[in-house]
């Protein structure tokens, strides 16, 4: 009887670990601002980032000149990133999260997908400049 209990507990633990998909935090570092024109300014970059985030459900807020904080709520999860930018590049850097299993290095893989989609949307908006 004790052996069966032990096997059942190991099985439950294995299922729990399989269900928790955790990967290293994905940050975008100094992605180039790529546009179709040279006639754009810092405000255009800012607006492209704000529009991209809003289109994906991120709450985007100017923290200071050259820095936007984006917050995404999905069910009972929250992800927050800092987006420093200038006329030539932008980054998306982990800031905070809730219910995503962040351990200082790894986070639920959904977070990485959200950041990758945000980066893609920013690039799409920038290409329209």
Q: Summarize pLDDT for 25-76 with one digit per residue, the tens.
A: 999 999 999 998 889 999 999 999 999 999 999 999 999 999 999 999 999 9
Whether 118 is in a domain gets the answer yes
pLDDT of amino acid 21: 85
Whether 101 is in a domain gets the answer yes
Cα gap 80→57, rounded to integer Å: 12
Whether 122 and 52 have beta carbons less than 8 Å apart is answered as: yes
Can you say how many angstroms the Cα of residue 13 is from the centroid of all Cα atoms in its chain?
28
- pLDDT over 50 (residue 17): no
pLDDT of amino acid 20: 59
Whether 30 is in a domain gets the answer yes
Cα gap 43→67, rounded to integer Å: 12
Whether 10 is in a domain gets the answer no
Give the mean pLDDT of the chain: 89
Q: Percentage of residues in the chain with pLDDT exceeding 70?
A: 84
The CATH number of residue 54's host domain is 3.30.310.80
φ/ψ of residue 100, rounded to 5: -120, 10
Whether 82 is in a domain gets the answer yes
* Number of domains the chain contains: 1
Whether 16 is in a domain gets the answer no
112: which 2 tokens?
């990485």
pLDDT of amino acid 29: 98
Whether 69 is in a domain gets the answer yes
Domain extent for 86: 22-127
Whether 15 is in a domain gets the answer no
């Amino acid at each position: 009887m004790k052996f069966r209990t032990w096997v059942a507990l190991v099985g439950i633990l294995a299922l729990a670990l399989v269900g928790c998909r955790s990967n290293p935090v994905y940050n975008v570092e100094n992605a180039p601002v790529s546009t179709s024109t040279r006639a754009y300014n810092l405000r255009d970059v800012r607006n492209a980032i704000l529009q991209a985030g809003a289109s994906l459900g991120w709450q985007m807020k100017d923290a200071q000149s050259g820095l936007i904080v984006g917050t995404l709520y999905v069910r009972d999860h929250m992800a927050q990133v800092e987006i420093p930018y200038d006329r030539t590049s932008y980054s998306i850097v982990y800031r905070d999260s809730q219910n995503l299993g962040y351990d200082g290095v790894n986070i639920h893989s959904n977070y990485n997908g959200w950041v990758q989609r945000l980066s893609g949307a920013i690039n799409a908006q920038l290409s329209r400049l």
